[in-house]
Amino acid sequence: MERLVLLSDQELLAAYRAGSTRAGELLFRKYSLLVERYIRAHVRDSEDVYNLRQEVLLKVLNGIRTTYRETGRLLPWVMTITVNVVNDYYRQRVKESEIILDEFPSSLMLSEDFSAEWDYLMRHERAYKILEQVCTDLSLEDRALIYAFFYENQSFRQMALSRGVSKSSCFKYLQRLLFRLRKMMMAAGVDESFLEER
């Protein structure tokens, strides 16, 4: 057992493929902290972090036996799986928040209460489409900053570190960017009264 701890990645891979569950546990433990750090930097919910870490490491262990081809570097492969799992997590959250008409019961769609709510939802949908269009006029770097702040819930410190600037510079830049975005939205017809009852 103790001998396994001293083995290299390639030796652990070979032992795991040969059926050693202990080698699998050691691989799991070895990469668990790196995987968790990456996920924690992108996902705020601690339960989701734990679940995603488990998902990544299970994919890694399954992949070692099936799809992984030895290239001498296991870590980049593990981190690629981690990045893909985090991206899938965010894609799934976007899908869950979309409104799918087929899911509404027809009796609800005929009610008077629903028609008022439906108008409100349609105004939201229109505002979202306009925002989407306006964002395409921003630079890729500006879009990435907005995505990091609103969708990944990154702090100013995290955003500043990833861009190599100070926290206060990042804050000021985002403030100016949001002001510019607001002006662009107003020019497209979306202001404070856009979502109010008409």
- Convert the pLDDT of each residue in 1-60 to its tens digit: 445 556 777 787 788 888 778 887 887 788 888 888 888 888 888 888 889 998 988 888
User: Which carries the bigger pLDDT value, residue 57 or residue 193?
Assistant: 57
Number of Cα atoms under 13 Å in the Cβ half of residue 15:
19
Q: Using CB atoms within 10 A of its CB, is residue 57 exposed (0-12), middle (13-18) or buried (19+)?
A: buried
pTM recorded for the entire structure? 0.46
Torsion of CA 82, 86, 88, 91, to 10 degrees: -160
Return the DSSP state at 131.
H
